[in-house]
A and B are shown apart, each in its own frame.
Chain A
Amino acid sequence: MIKDSEGINKPFALVRKKKINFKQGFFLSLMRIFGFTGAISLFVILVFIAYNGLEALSLDFITQPPAEAMTQGGIFPVIMGTVLLTIICMIFVIPIGVTTAIFLAEYSKPGTLLTMVMMSIYTLAGVPSVVFGLFGLGVFVVVFNFGMSLLAGSLTLAIMVLPYIISTSEEALKAVPFSFREASLACGATKWQTIRKVVLPTAMPGILTGAILGTAKVSGETAPIMFTAAAFFSPGIPRSLFEPVMALPYHIYVLATAGTHIEETRPIQYGTALILIILVLGMNLLGIILRSRQRKKRSW
């Protein structure tokens, strides 16, 4: 007996009501299904790309330039283009992003200026990537006269990924306990000495993780490099910053939409996509491993 005649629960009426039981079970399974959607999508994409791309994969594929109007051969210059774009982008964006983060986390005081800087960064993070591409075309390619080049593309990517680098670096800096700063200042360190010798080294693993995940983001972007750096074809790796380069995402786009050999180059398209995915996932994996290792190591 669960309830007495007035419907008041007795002290030991712990048997769950059927209705609640059903509702709870229903929503729980719904959550499970939704929760798995992400994982399943990733799995399906990976299997699909791997299934179609594996046949193109070989040592020659990643070490040889394209041949026969890009219907044969490898994608060596394409891989190198993406690698170079990403590295040069990071060379620009890390110093700027980390410096900005230091300013925001350590020096800025609440006020109009800080609000404006923060709002600009948030807005920048929400701008569609094709807009960055057009911006890069207007500013770096035309006004600065860099032309369609490695440099223009890297700078455009740098501006696109800047908000991400700033916010991950700022989080890493803010995660450094106040007691470390206190200890350093009490030793007679200046604020800058404290930041340089205690705060930055402690935050460095976090900053690097952000940078690696940022690299993964950058290497897969198409729109920002489409008008600023990407070449339809170039035979080898560029000899200067002012030459256009081939890049993995753009190469896929070109092979799949332009030209007269769309069907014949399907394996190359999927092979390129596979390489790109391996690159991006590898980078992400590295970032995740680093992050979990530093979380385990952290003992404060």
Chain B
Amino acid sequence: MVKHKNVFEINDFSIWYGDFMAVKNMKMNIEANRITAIIGPSGCGKSTILRALNRMNDLITTSRIEGAMLFHSIDIYDKNTDVIELRRRVGMVFQKPNPFPSSVYENVAYGPKLRGIRKKEQLDEIVEQALVKADLWKEVKEKLNDSGLSLSGGQMQRLCIARSLAQQPEVILFDEPTSALDPISTAHIENLLQELQKTVTIVIVTHNMQQAARISHYTAFMYLGELIEFGDTDTVFVNPYNKLTEEYITGRFG
């Protein structure tokens, strides 16, 4: 496989919640324009490391980190790092669809408006483009003023993706984005991710091994806070070098 530029470089990175070490000396690179999946049983630290990539862990006051986390060679945990700008460039989609209790339009325009874009035509264009990219435009173009919460679960999740896309992020982090959705909506989102991957780097945490196997280029397997195995998805699933990975993938534990 062609090697792409590294967007994130994670070096001996550890995360504590109080005295609990949730992520242990993790070492891993994330390549541009690829889909990287992180799998592992509940509580293995996969969401924790994902949330470290755009510093959402800052919200948990007891969390503390050690090691380096580089985004385009800049340490994002440096005290001079602009977290706001980081989060614009590294968007996030959550497990439970969480549109704001406002209109579809306002949901997508939220980020651009924060950045001071006020002109109606410009906002209209951004909103339309983001919704088209998220494959939601056709379904909502007649009801842009309806509440985002009136959509179906799958539509809400695509709305959240559009909200993130409206900021033209380089990376979008997906935290189990389909675990609350039905199989059809899930397939829809998976197709969408494969489309988006052409322009955006994607990191996805998932419970669903088949999903990782289906859509990702790279797979990381984590267990009890440690990165057990990381490599090409094909290799990890077909020919893992670690026994634990094999046992997890074949469903013998987890």
Contacts and interface: CB of A to CB of B under 8 A. Distances in A.
Do A and B assemble together?
A: yes
A43 interface: no
Interface stretch (B70-78, B136-144, B159-167, B246-254): B159-167
A187 B111 contact: yes
A5 interface: no
B96 interface: yes
Interface string A170-181: 000000010111
Interface in A243-273: none
A193 B115 CA distance: 11
A183 B99 CA distance: 8
A183 B101 CA distance: 12
Interface residues of B, number: 29
Contacts, number: 67
Given A109-B61, A299-B149, A300-B149, A183 B111 contact: no
A72 interface: no
Contact of B98 (A182, A188, A201): A182
A187 B96 contact: no
A188 B96 contact: no
Interface stretch (B3-11, B37-45, B83-91): B83-91
B205 to A, nearest CB: 14
Interface in B124-176: 147, 149-150, 160, 163-164, 167
Interface residues of A, number: 21
A182 B111 contact: no
A189 interface: yes
B110 interface: yes
A200 to B, nearest CB: 12
B114 interface: yes
B241 interface: no
Contacts of B150: 299
Given A109-B61, A299-B149, A300-B149, A185 B87 contact: yes
A198 interface: yes
A14 interface: no
B94 A182 contact: yes
A98 B59 CA distance: 23
Given A180-B98, A300-B149, A189 B61 contact: no
Interface in A177-216: 177, 179-190, 193, 197-198, 201-202
Contacts of B61: 109
B94 A187 contact: no
A187 B98 contact: no
A278 to B, nearest CB: 35
A183 B160 CA distance: 9
Contacts of B96: 179
Nearest to B96: A179
A179 B98 contact: yes
Contacts of B160: 183
B56 interface: yes
Contact of A188 (B102, B111, B147, B149): B111
B104 to A, nearest CB: 14
B114 A193 contact: yes
A182 B87 CA distance: 11
A181 B88 CA distance: 15
A182 B56 contact: yes
Contacts of A180: 98, 100-101
Contacts of A186: 54, 56, 87, 91-92, 94, 164
Given A188-B111, A198-B100, A202-B101, A183 B88 contact: no
Contact of B164 (A185, A187, A190, A197): A187
Nearest to B112: A187
Nearest to B106: A197
A190 B110 CA distance: 13
A188 B114 contact: yes
B167 A187 contact: yes
A14 B147 CA distance: 52
Interface string A287-299: 0000000000001
Contact of B84 (A177, A190, A198): A190
A276 B102 CA distance: 39
A197 B91 CA distance: 19
A185 B85 contact: no
B101 A300 contact: yes
Nearest to A178: B59
Contacts of B115: 188
Contacts of B54: 186
13 contacts: A109-B61, A180-B100, A182-B56, A182-B94, A182-B98, A186-B91, A186-B92, A186-B94, A187-B110, A187-B114, A187-B164, A188-B86, A189-B111
Interface of A: 109, 177, 179-190, 193, 197-198, 201-202, 299-300
